[in-house]
Amino acid sequence: MDFIIKLMPLVPFIFILVALSQLVLGILSKLGKKPKISFFPGGQIEVGFSIFGPTLTLFGTLRASHADAFVSRIELKLIGPEISSPRIMEWRVFKPYTFGFAPQAAEQQYELVSAFLLSPLTSFKNSIVFVDDPFIEAHTSKIVSIQSLWEEFNKEAGNPEAPAVLPKRFDAFYKTPEVQQVVADLERVTYWKAGEYRLDMRIHTSNPDKTHTFPMTFHLSEENADILDSSLKRVAQLMCGLEVSIRYVYSKLNTDNKPLGS
């Protein structure tokens, strides 16, 4: 009994030591564990062609396990019916994670992409737009030339006083040999054709440096391919200052077990 009484003053210290030991064990258990990233796709992928060239938008949720993961960059590696060698599409903007059945009254607000931290305690719901930078660099001059041709066309025809005249004037302009040549050049290099597409989403992390790969597939129907083909005219209209909206198509996104490789 005397022994127990003598130990009573040490009880608080024993509780503190137990708590500290649990904390140290928790920290030690995490040491050496590398983060694992999981991607849960939203079910569909958005495919488009705009003034930014071919675009893909992925919807889904990212989550890290075991440890924090610092995501430095995300890219897509894509192959398809008209793609002889894989295309690399870089992430460009985050778009609002919303969907509307009616056209939006105002332009959507986009956020430029930047590196971010994934934690096991929180998930990251994302809607990321990917663009084909080499395509933009190679063919921007063709798209911009439409604007120059439009200015010359208006000088010869006289600037219209009423905005209502613009659509009819544009139709005449779009049929000119010069514009049709530009359109034909762009049609030859655009690669959204009907068929099966395979892609790898590659998430690059830092400290530790690692690439997490998520293979997926989607199918582009003939109808959706035709809609994307018609986007060339809408892009031309935008370059000429007409108010039009770009149409996007949506395809079912399927997970795959076969990465495209390096």
Write out pLDDT tens, residues 1-36: 554 455 456 445 555 555 555 554 454 445 557 888
The answer on 212 and 118 residing in a single domain is yes
Whether the bond into 160 is cis, omega within 30 of 0: no
Region 197-217: mean pLDDT is: 93
Which residues make Cβ contacts (< 8 Å) with residue 34, sequence separation at least 6? 66, 67, 208, 210
Q: What is the tens place of the pLDDT at every residue in 78-131?
A: 999 988 789 999 999 998 866 554 444 445 678 899 999 998 888 888 899 999
- Measured distance CA(205)–CA(181) in Å, rounded: 44
Residue 48 lies in a domain: yes
**Residues 73-88: b if buried by 16+ CB within 10 A, e if exposed:** ebbbbbbbeeeeebbe
The answer on 82 and 18 residing in a single domain is no
Domain count, the chain: 2
The answer on 178 and 83 residing in a single domain is yes
Residue 159 lies in a domain: yes
Domain that holds residue 18: 1-31
Query: Among residues 50, 100, 83, which one has the least CA distance to residue 230?
Result: 50
The answer on 56 and 182 residing in a single domain is yes
Residue 262 lies in a domain: no
Dihedral angle, C-alpha 260, 137, 55, 183, nearest 10 °? -120
The answer on 103 and 85 residing in a single domain is yes
Q: Which residue has the tokens 């399927």?
A: 254
The answer on 197 and 76 residing in a single domain is yes
The answer on 88 and 19 residing in a single domain is no
Q: Which two tokens stand for residue 210?
A: 């690692």
Residue 51 contacts residue 112 (beta carbons within 8 Å): no
- Measured distance CA(120)–CA(114) in Å, rounded: 20
Q: Which two tokens stand for residue 92?
A: 């460009």
The answer on 73 and 116 residing in a single domain is yes
If you ran DSSP here, which 8-state letter would residue 120 be given?
A: T
Local confidence band at 221 (pLDDT 50, 70, 90 cut-offs): very high
Residue 111 lies in a domain: yes
Residue 261 lies in a domain: no
Residue 260 lies in a domain: no
3-state helix, strand, coil in the chain (%, to 5): 35, 35, 25
Residue 55 contacts residue 190 (beta carbons within 8 Å): no
pLDDT of residue 28: 42
Residue 179 is inside which H or E element, if any? Answer: helix 177-189
The answer on 44 and 23 residing in a single domain is no
The answer on 21 and 74 residing in a single domain is no
